[in-house]
C-alpha cells in the first residue's frame, strides 16, 4: 500500500540525530525543503531535523524497513509514487545530481560516510520482518490470546520437557535461522518414531524453545544429522526400557567459537551452549517426531541426561588426539559424536601414580558398567580428567597406548562371569566358562576416551552405553563433521 505521507514526485531523506553525517547535512535538508517537495523520515527524534516542514517520526521503523534502508542518511527520489534513484551517505556530487543545486551544501566536505540504519541493528531486522514483512515461515502458527501466557501455552500443548521453554515467535525463529546458511525448507531428515519430516525451520523453532543462540544452529543441525544416521538407531534408543539417551560430544573450532564448556563442571549445569544444544535435540524428537515419555519412550527409569547431555572435549594439549580425529574426522574440523549414554558413574582413584596402576584401576571401574558379570552388553565413554590424564602423559602414554592397555586390562576369565559364579545368578552362559572374555568391543568403539573436566580432583567419569550396541554392525556411536 502506498505511503500517502511520502511525496509522489519529490525527495525522501531517511536520517537519525544519532548520526554525525545526518547532523552535518541538516542545512542541506533545510535547503531541499525550501525547494520542495521533501519528506524526512527521522528514526530517533521527531524534532530532527529542524526547519523542515514534513518530518515523519519513524520510531517503529516501519517506513525504514519498507524503504529497505541500510544506512543513513539515504536520499531517495520518487516519481509517480515509485522510487527511481537513491544515494547513501553524503557525497555532494551525487546529492546534486539527484536533487539539484539546493543540495550543494556550501562549506561542507565533499564526502562523508553515513551510519548504520536503526532498522538493521542486531536483532531488529528480524523483528521488523516478523512485524511488517513476510517471514516466509511454513510451520503452522498457533494464536495465543492477548491475556494468555505464551510459556503456559507451550506447557498446555505438551511442547516442553517439563521445564519452561522460550516461546517460538516469528522474530526469534528468523533470528535463529540467521545462524545457518541452510535454507529453511531444507529437510534434514525423518524424525522417529512418527518419521515426520523435519526442516531446518523446525530445527530452528525447537532450538528457540531450548534456549539456543543463533550461532549454535550449525552444531544443533550437526547433532541432529548424527542422531538420524541409521547406525545410531535413534528409534530403538527412544523405545528402550534402558536408561540411555543421546550423549553429545563436540570437537573442534565450533566448540570454542560458541563458548562450550570442557573444563570445570563440564558435565553439569551453568553453560548455555552445553545445556541447550542437547536439549534442542530432545525437543525435536518430542515435538516433531512424537517421542513422548510414557508413550513410545518406555524407559524404566531414564536418566537426567534425557533433558540434555552435551559437552565439549578439552583439546588444549596438542599431544592429545581428539576423539573426533580418532574416529576419522580431519584435524581442525568441527565434529559431533553421539553416544547412547546411560548417565554418569563417578570414578575415584587418588592413590595411583603410574600409568600401569591407573589403567588397572580404571578397568575395575569399567567392569561395573551394566553389571560386573556382563560383557559385550554395551560400550562406554571414559571422561578422563586433567589430573588422571597427567599420570598417563608423564608416563609417556598417548591415546593409542591408553586404549591398548585398557583393552587388555578389561579381559576376564569366563569362569568368574558365568551364571551362578560368585553365587550371583546374573552373568554369561556356561559356554564362556573356559574362555577369556572381553568386557567391551575392540577399541576405539569399546571405550570412547575423551578429555574434559577441571584441573583439580583425581575424579574421572564412566558413562555406560546401551545394550543395543552389542550388535556392532547395526548400532554404534556416530561421529559426523559439522557444516555451516
- Which tops the pLDDT comparison, 100 or 122? 100
Residues 173 and 318 reside in one and the same domain: yes
Residue 137 lies in a domain: no
- Does residue 133 fall inside a structural domain? no
Is residue 2 very low, low, confident or very high in pLDDT (cuts 50, 70, 90)? low
In this structure, are 108 and 158 located in the same domain?
no
* Residue corresponding to grid cell 523435519: 198
**Confidence band (pLDDT; 50, 70, 90) for 1?**
low
Q: Tens digit of pLDDT for each residue in 192-201?
A: 999 999 999 9
pLDDT digits (tens, 9 = 90+) for 4-34: 789 999 999 999 999 999 999 999 999 999 9
Please give the average per-residue pLDDT across 277-293, as a whole number. Answer: 96
Domain that holds residue 225: 146-335
4 within some domain: no
Q: pLDDT band at residue 379, thresholds of 50, 70 and 90?
A: very high
Task: Please list the alpha-helical segments (H only) found in 321-354.
Answer: 323-326
In-domain check, residue 479: no
Does residue 327 sit in the same domain as residue 435?
A: no
Residue 105 lies in a domain: yes
List, for residues 219-246, the tens digit of each pLDDT value.
Answer: 999 999 999 999 999 999 999 999 999 9
Give, to the nearest 10 degrees, the angle between helix 272-287 and helix 200-210. 130
348 and 288 part of one domain: no
Looking at 280, 310, 335, the residue that finishes a domain is 335
- Domain assignment present for 127: no
Beta strand 478-481 with 335-341 is antiparallel
Q: How many helices (H) and strands (E) does the chain have?
A: 16, 21
Tell me, yes or no, whether 471 lies in a domain.
Answer: no
Q: Is the pLDDT of residue 365 over 60?
A: yes
Find all residues with CB under 8 Å of 167, minimum gap 6, and list them.
144, 150, 151, 153, 154, 209
Tell me the three cell numbers of residue 254.
565450533
Which of 1-15, 50-64, 173-187, 433-447 comes out lowest in average pLDDT? 1-15
Among 286, 311, 335, the domain boundary falls at 335
Q: How far apart are the first and last CA of the chain?
A: 38
Same domain, 196 and 292: yes
How confident is the model over 185-212, as a mean pLDDT? Answer: 97
- Same domain? For 299 and 397 the reply is no
* Closest to 340 in 3D by CA, of 384, 283, 378: 378
Q: Regarding beta strands 478-481 and 411-413, do their DSSP bridges make them parallel or antiparallel, or are they unpaired?
A: unpaired
136 in any annotated domain:
no
Which run of H or of E encompasses 238?
A: helix 234-239
Rounded to two decimals, the pTM is 0.87
Amino acid at each position: 500500500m502506498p505511503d500517502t505521507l511520502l511525496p509522489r514526485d519529490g525527495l525522501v531523506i531517511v536520517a537519525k540525530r544519532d548520526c554525525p553525517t545526518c547532523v552535518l547535512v541538516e542545512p542541506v535538508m533545510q535547503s531541499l525543503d525550501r525547494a520542495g517537495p521533501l519528506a524526512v523520515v527521522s528514526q530517533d527524534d521527531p524534532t530532527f531535523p529542524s526547519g523542515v516542514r514534513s518530518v515523519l517520526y519513524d520510531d517503529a521503523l516501519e517506513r525504514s524497513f519498507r524503504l529497505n534502508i541500510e544506512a543513513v542518511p539515504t536520499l531517495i527520489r520518487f516519481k509517480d509514487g515509485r522510487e527511481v534513484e537513491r544515494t547513501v551517505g553524503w557525497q555532494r556530487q551525487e546529492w546534486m545530481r539527484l536533487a539539484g543545486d539546493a543540495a550543494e551544501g556550501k562549506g561542507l566536505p565533499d564526502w562523508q560516510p553515513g551510519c548504520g540504519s536503526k532498522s538493521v541493528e542486531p536483532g531488529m531486522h528480524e523483528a521488523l520482518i516478523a512485524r511488517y514483512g513476510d517471514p516466509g515461515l511454513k510451520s503452522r502458527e498457533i494464536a495465543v490470546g492477548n491475556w494468555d501466557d505464551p510459556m503456559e501455552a507451550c506447557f498446555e500443548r505438551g511442547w516442553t520437557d517439563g521445564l519452561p521453554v522460550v516461546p517460538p515467535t516469528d522474530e526469534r525463529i528468523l533470528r535463529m535461522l540467521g545462524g545457518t546458511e541452510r535454507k529453511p525448507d531444507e529437510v534434514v531428515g525423518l524424525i522417529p518414531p512418527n518419521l515426520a519430516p523435519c526442516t531446518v525451520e523446525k530445527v530452528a523453532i525447537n532450538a528457540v524453545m531450548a534456549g539456543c543462540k543463533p550461532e549454535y544452529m550449525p552444531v544443533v543441525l550437526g547433532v541432529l544429522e548424527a542422531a538420524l544416521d541409521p547406525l545410531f538407531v535413534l528409534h530403538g534408543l527412544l523405545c528402550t526400557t534402558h536408561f540411555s539417551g543421546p550423549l553429545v560430544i563436540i570437537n573442534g573450532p565450533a566448540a570454542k567459537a560458541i563458548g562450550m564448556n570442557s573444563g570445570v563442571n563440564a558435565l553439569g549445569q551453568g553453560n548455555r551452549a552445553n545445556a541447550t544444544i542437547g536439549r534442542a535435540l530432545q525437543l525435536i524428537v518430542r515435538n516433531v517426531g512424537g517421542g513422548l515419555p510414557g508413550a513410545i519412550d518406555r524407559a524404566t527409569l531414564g536418566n537426567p541426561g534425557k533433558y540434555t547431555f552435551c559437552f565439549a572435549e578439552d583439546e588444549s594439549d596438542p599431544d592429545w588426539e581428539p576423539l573426533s580425529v580418532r574416529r576419522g574426522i580431519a584435524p581442525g574440523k568441527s565434529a559431533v559424536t553421539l553416544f547412547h549414554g546411560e548417565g554418569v558413574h563417578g570414578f575415584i582413584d587418588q592413590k595411583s601414580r603410574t600409568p600401569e596402576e591407573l589403567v588397572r584401576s580404571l578397568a575395575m571401574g569399567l567392569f561395573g558398567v551394566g553389571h560386573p558379570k556382563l560383557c559385550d552388553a554395551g560400550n562406554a565413554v571414559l571422561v578422563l580428567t586433567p589430573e588422571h590424564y597427567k599420570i598417563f602423559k608423564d608416563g609417556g602414554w598417548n591415546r593409542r597406548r591408553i586404549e591398548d592397555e585398557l583393552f587388555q586390562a578389561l579381559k576376564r576369565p569366563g569362569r568368574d562371569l558365568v551364571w551362578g559364579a560368585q553365587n550371583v545368578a546374573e552373568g554369561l552362559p556356561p559356554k564362556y566358562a573356559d574362555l577369556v572374555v572381553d568386557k567391551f568391543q575392540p577399541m576405539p568403539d569399546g571405550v570412547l576416551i575423551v578429555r574434559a573436566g577441571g584441573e583439580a580432583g583425581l575424579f574421572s567419569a564412566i558413562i555406560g552405553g546401551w545394550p543395543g550396541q552389542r550388535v556392532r554392525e547395526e548400532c554404534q556411536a556416530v561421529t559426523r563433521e559439522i557444516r555451516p
